[in-house]
Every structure is written in C-alpha cells, then in structure tokens.
Amino acid sequence: MTIKQLSVFLENKTGRINEVTKILSRHGINMQAFSMAETADFGILRLIVSDVDKAVEVLRGEDFAVMLTDVVYMHCPNEAGALAGILDRLAQGEVAIEYMYAFAEGDMAHIVVRPTHIEQCEKALA
C-alpha cells in the first residue's frame, strides 16, 4: 500500500540526526522505520512515523527542511526467496526503483520501496 514517508534534509554534522529524533520523541511521535542516504556534505533522512502530519509540523517549526514522499510499503514472510518473488513481479511490471529499505523481525519482513511511478508499482503488486 502507498504511504507517506517523511524526508528530512540534514547537513553532515555530528548530533544532527539526534536532534530530529529528540524533537519527535518530545511530541510522542514513534519512528517505525528509517534510512539515511548520505553524500559528502549532506544527507536525506527518510522516516516512516506514527503521525506524519504532526511530524512535518513540529520539524518545520524547528526550521528543518522537510517534505513528504509517496512510497509503497509491503511485507512478506521472513524466509529465503520471499523478496526475490516480489522483485520479480516488479521487474515484470517494468517498475523502476529509486531506492528501498527493508528489515526483518520474527516471521515477518517489512519493505519500503520508492518507485519512479507509484501507480505502476501498485499495479504490478496487485
């Protein structure tokens, strides 16, 4: 399903991620997943949070550059070949992936995909 991901622009500076997490914690917003894309001087922190609208509001209030991005969330059994099966379907549907992140926990694996075209991706998975 398509969900909203929070993207935060960060300078590469010690303690900067910590400031984001502290602000979210102060407002009782839970982080469910995150990934960090980095270059030499800046990074983009990508987050899936419990209350995305509130997260945008509080981070903007603290002068962070924040935006929302549509991503596709899915889950599969935590077993060999499960992800390969999903990626096969995406490849057959000619879905281009910009980035993705995933993690496994117990019997379940969670995957967040940023495809170039959301609708095409949804169709391939349907």
Partner 1 sequence: MIWNPNKECMSRDEMHALQSKRLQKLVTYVYHNVPFYRNKMQAMDLSPEDIRSIDDIVKLPFTTKQDLRDNYPYGLQAAPASEIVRVHASSGTTGNPTIVGYTRKDLAVWSEVMARCLTAYGVTREDTFSVAYGYGLFTGGLGAHYGVENLGATVIPTSTGNTEKHIRLIRDLKVSGIACTPSYALYLAETLEKMGLTKEDIGLRIGAFGAEPWTENMRKEIEERLGLKGYNIYGLSEIMGPGVSYECSEQNGSHICEDHFYPEIINPETLEQLPRGQQGELVFTTLTKEGMPLLRYRTKDLCTLMEGECACGRTAVRMGRIVGRSDDMLIIRGINVFPSQVESVILEMKEFEPQYMLVVDRVGNLDTLQVQVEVRRDFFSDDIGRMLAMKKQLADRLKSVLSISADVKLMEPGSIERAQGKGKHVIDNRILK
Residues engaged in binding partner 1 (CB under 8 A)? 5, 7, 9-11, 37, 39, 41-42, 44, 46, 60, 63-67, 69, 98, 114
Pair 80, 106: CB distance under 8 Å: no
Residue 109 or 115: the one with the smaller Cβ distance to partner 1 is: 115
Residue 19 or 104: the one with the smaller Cβ distance to partner 1 is: 19
CA-CA distance, 103 to 75, in Å (whole number)? 10
Residue 79 or 98: the one with the smaller Cβ distance to partner 1 is: 98
Name the minimum Å distance from CB 66 to partner 1. 8
Name the minimum Å distance from CB 3 to partner 1. 14
Name the minimum Å distance from CB 113 to partner 1. 13
Beta strands in the chain (DSSP E): 2-11, 31-38, 42-49, 66-77, 97-105, 108-115
CA-CA distance, 54 to 76, in Å (whole number)? 29
Pair 101, 95: CB distance under 8 Å: no
Residue 68 or 102: the one with the smaller Cβ distance to partner 1 is: 68
Token code pair at residue 92: 């057959």
Name the minimum Å distance from CB 81 to partner 1. 30
